[in-house]
Amino acid sequence: MSVSIFPDAWSKTFADYRLQRFWIAGLVATFLHAVADPSVTYFAVNVYGAGREANPGLSGYLENGWQSFLLAHIPLYLLILACFVAFAWLFSISSESEKQQMYTLGMVLWVIISFWGILVVVNNIWVLLTGIS
């Protein structure tokens, strides 16, 4: 007998390939915006002095060091987690046609957000490389 922390409905919901793909695409976008972008920005600005933080809401935290910069991103991480959980919950109570609509819209948005993240990270790397050369 296996014990699950999730009710049977959640286990069945997460077995759906669409929800699995949504989470994978979302984790890629999250990595780009919540890990890669802040990391490259920190190294470019604080380690190499090759640029500056363009977001005035985060620049003060970045000037105070990586711990402060990381803590400033916690609301972003919590918001992303809430979006994932909300999507999974809505997915679990939706009809088949609603699930397909949510999946299609979600994937289109993740592709756009990921493309934006790639542009931001590539720009940060470009600033870093041109600033240290």
58-88 residue pLDDT tens: 889 999 988 999 999 999 899 999 999 999 9
**pLDDT tens, position by position, 77-118:** 999 999 999 999 998 899 999 999 999 999 999 999 999 999
**pLDDT tens, position by position, 36-52:** 999 999 989 888 888 88
DSSP 17-37: HHHHHHHHHHHHHHHIIIIIH
Q: Where are the domains of the chain?
A: 15-132
Predicted TM-score (pTM) of this structure: 0.81
HSE (CB half, 13 Å, CA atoms) of 12? Answer: 6
Q: At what angle do helices 74-93 and 17-31 cross, to 10 degrees?
A: 170
Dist CA 102 CA 131 (whole Å): 43
Residue whose entry in the numeric block shows the structure tokens 């590539």: 122
Dist CA 114 CA 67 (whole Å): 26
Return the closest-CA partner of residue 116 out of 43, 36, 19, 20. Answer: 36
